[in-house]
């Protein structure tokens, strides 16, 4: 289990780079110029005393907004580390479920930070840990092994922990593209929508988030006011198929008239809707979303090669 307190008095180059959201090369340059005091180990690695890093941040007005490599890494429970190294997602899912149901809220937050710090990509956390983990929690609830209260708490702790993780990740530079996110009026499930929004944000997109239970009229109004490049709707609990079709195709029509693309995601999109002409793609994973972004970027490059 990840430890709960920061014990590191000495930071590595990687730690400092993450702390200030800069590259390791930048940190090495600061150290070599003497602006950031460091000691070198016999092996030539730079080590930074916390007090020197704090002083450096104060003098240069740098805000340490990034995340440290998870504190006390050395004492971390071996099983989790081995699971990460071996990319044993079954164990990671199991650990997620345990932490999500733990009464200590910091457990889940630390777990997400820990996974990310150890090179488990954001989309992998969402698709390969969170999604199967939440499905497991749903099954436990259906089997009567956990209460409604526990399921609700796990959901809201998850949303909080995802927000905390988002504040720690490295974001790409702004792309100038924007996207609007919403769930339809009757939809309370919004964790998947959150994941999609965070992934776009991490890729440098400006995101507008309307959240769960948004009336279709309000989604259309927001498209009119905000002019997003893309609108994304997440569907988990299917409405009566004709209602879902009516609501989504309305969003699609309004979007296309405004030159906005419509993406639909989530586990509740009926298979029959995948080929409909009024949307620009149905996606059931964060990985698929990244492919969309890659294609979008390639198309934009092809349209205006000079801007790159």
Tell me which residues touch ligand B12 (CB under 6 A). Answer: 126-127, 130-131, 134-135, 137-138, 142, 151-152, 155, 186, 188-193, 195-196, 232, 234, 236-238, 263, 265-268, 283-286, 289
Q: Between residues 52 and 236, which has the closer beta carbon with respect to ligand B12?
A: 236
Nearer to ligand B12, 17 or 134 (CB): 134
> Which CB sits closer to ligand B12, 73 or 185?
185
Cβ proximity to ligand B12, 69 vs 206, nearer residue:
206
Output 63 or 241, the one with its CB closest to ligand B12: 241
Q: How far apart are CA 111 and CA 63, in angstroms?
A: 24
CB of 149 to ligand B12, least distance (A): 10
* Tokens of residue 61, six digits: 């007005």
Least distance from C-beta 213 to ligand B12, angstroms? 8
Tokens 């490049």 appear where?
229
Nearest 5°: the CA angle 163, 88, 102 is: 45
**In the chain, what is the straight-line distance between the N-terminal and C-terminal CA atoms, in Å?**
44
For the stretch 88-111, what's the b/e string if a residue is b when 16 or more beta carbons lie within 10 angstroms of its beta carbon? Answer: ebeebbbbbbebbbbeeeebbbbb
Please name the residues in contact with 24: beta carbons below 8 A apart, sequence gap of 6 or more: 13, 14, 17
Rounded to the nearest whole angstrom, what is the least distance from the CB of residue 92 to ligand B12 in the complex? 14
Rounded to whole angstroms, the Cα distance separating 130 from 127 reads 6
For the bound state, the minimum distance from the C-beta of residue 18 to ligand B12, rounded and expressed in Å, comes to 24
Residues 237 and 217 sit within 8 Å (Cβ to Cβ): no
Closest CB to ligand B12 among residues 70, 183: 183
Q: Which two tokens stand for residue 77?
A: 């429970």
| Smallest distance, ligand B12 to C-beta of residue 232, A | 4
Give min distance, CB of 238 to ligand B12, in A.
6
Is residue 180 within 8 A of residue 223, CB to CB? The reply is yes
For ligand B12, the closer of residues 73 and 151 by Cβ is 151
259 Cβ contact partners less than 8 Å away, ≥ 6 residues apart = none
Beta strands in 151-260 (DSSP E): 178-183, 206-209, 230-234
Nearer to ligand B12, 85 or 188 (CB): 188
Answer whether 146's CB lies under 8 Å from 102's CB. no
3-class secondary structure, 300: helix
Q: Which residue is nearest to ligand B12 (CB)?
A: 265
């Amino acid at each position: 289990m990840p430890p709960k307190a920061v014990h590191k008095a000495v930071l590595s180059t990687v730690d400092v780079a993450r702390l200030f959201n800069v590259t390791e090369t930048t940190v090495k340059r600061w150290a070599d110029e003497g602006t950031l005091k460091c000691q070198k180990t016999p092996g030539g690695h730079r080590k930074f005393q916390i007090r020197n890093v704090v002083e450096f941040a104060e003098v240069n007005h740098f805000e340490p907004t990034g995340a440290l490599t998870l504190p006390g890494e050395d004492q971390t429970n071996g099983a989790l580390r081995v699971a990460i190294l071996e990319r044993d997602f079954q164990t990671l899912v199991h650990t997620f479920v345990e932490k999500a149901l733990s009464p200590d809220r910091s457990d889940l937050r630390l777990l997400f930070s820990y996974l990310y710090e150890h090179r488990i990509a954001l989309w992998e956390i969402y698709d390969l840990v969170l999604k199967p983990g939440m499905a497991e929690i749903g099954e436990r609830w259906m089997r009567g092994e956990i209460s409604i209260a526990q399921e609700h708490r796990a959901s809201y702790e998850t949303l909080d922990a995802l927000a905390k993780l988002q504040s720690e990740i490295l974001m790409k530079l702004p792309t100038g593209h924007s996207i609007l996110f919403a769930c339809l009026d009757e939809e309370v499930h919004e964790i998947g929508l959150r994941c999609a929004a965070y992934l776009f944000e991490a890729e440098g997109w400006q995101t507008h988030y309307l959240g769960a239970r948004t009336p279709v009229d309000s989604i259309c109004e927001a498209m009119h006011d905000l002019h997003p490049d893309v609108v994304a709707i997440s569907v988990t609990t299917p409405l009566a198929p004709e209602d879902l079709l009516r609501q989504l195709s309305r969003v699609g029509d309004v979007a296309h008239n405004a030159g906005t693309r419509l993406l639909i995601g989530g586990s509740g999109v009926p298979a029959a809707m995948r080929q409909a002409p009024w949307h620009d793609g149905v996606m059931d994973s964060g990985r698929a979303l990244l492919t969309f972004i890659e294609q979008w970027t390639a198309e934009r490059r092809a349209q205006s090669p000079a801007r790159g």
